[in-house]
């Protein structure tokens, strides 16, 4: 992953994790999000998501949750484990239980609605 993207995620409060430590991180919070990435040359929309997702997450500043991201190798492992075929993807956990994901890139409003739904803050129209 591009160092610029890593630095942006870190400065936005995300923690870089790996498959060996993910359950430790997510079990400490009621709600966790895990940002999966891949090669930005193969999936250029990851560059947009690295900016959009942290900005959307700012809307939830009053809610305490864990924000993680994975390098390519760990992202591919988790994508395979949870049957995710599209990048970028955001996984959602309630404690250590996987509850769903959002894959791909969407218009700002739709992305926000999908994340709100998975954080159980409002109902999602259109799945």
Summarize pLDDT for 4-41 with one digit per residue, the tens.
888 989 999 999 999 999 999 999 888 899 999 899 89
- Give the model's confidence band at 1: pLDDT under 50 very low, under 70 low, under 90 confident, else very high: low
Q: What are phi and psi of 93, to 5 degrees?
A: -130, 145
Summarize pLDDT for 87-98 with one digit per residue, the tens.
999 999 988 889
CB neighbours of residue 108 within 10 Å:
10
Mean pLDDT of the chain: 86
pLDDT of residue 84: 94
Q: Give the DSSP letter string of 38-92.
A: --TTT-THHHHHHHHHHHHHGGGTTS--EEEEE-HHHHHHHHHHTT--SSSEEEE
pLDDT of residue 61: 67
Summarize pLDDT for 36-59 with one digit per residue, the tens.
989 989 999 999 888 888 888 887
Please, which residues have CB within 8 angstroms of residue 8's CB and are 6 or more apart in sequence? 50, 51, 54
């Amino acid at each position: 992953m591009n160092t610029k993207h890593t630095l942006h995620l870190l400065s936005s409060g995300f923690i870089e994790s790996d498959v060996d430590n993910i359950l430790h991180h997510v079990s400490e919070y009621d709600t966790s999000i895990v940002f999966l990435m891949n090669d930005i040359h193969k999936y250029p929309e990851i560059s947009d998501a690295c900016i959009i997702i942290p900005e959307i997450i700012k809307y939830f500043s009053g809610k305490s949750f864990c924000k993680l991201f994975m390098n390519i190798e760990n992202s591919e492992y988790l994508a395979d484990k949870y049957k995710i075929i599209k990048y970028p993807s955001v996984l959602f956990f309630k404690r250590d239980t996987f509850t769903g994901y959002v894959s791909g890139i969407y218009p700002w409003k739709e992305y926000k609605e999908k994340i709100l739904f998975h954080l159980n803050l409002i109902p999602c129209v259109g799945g």
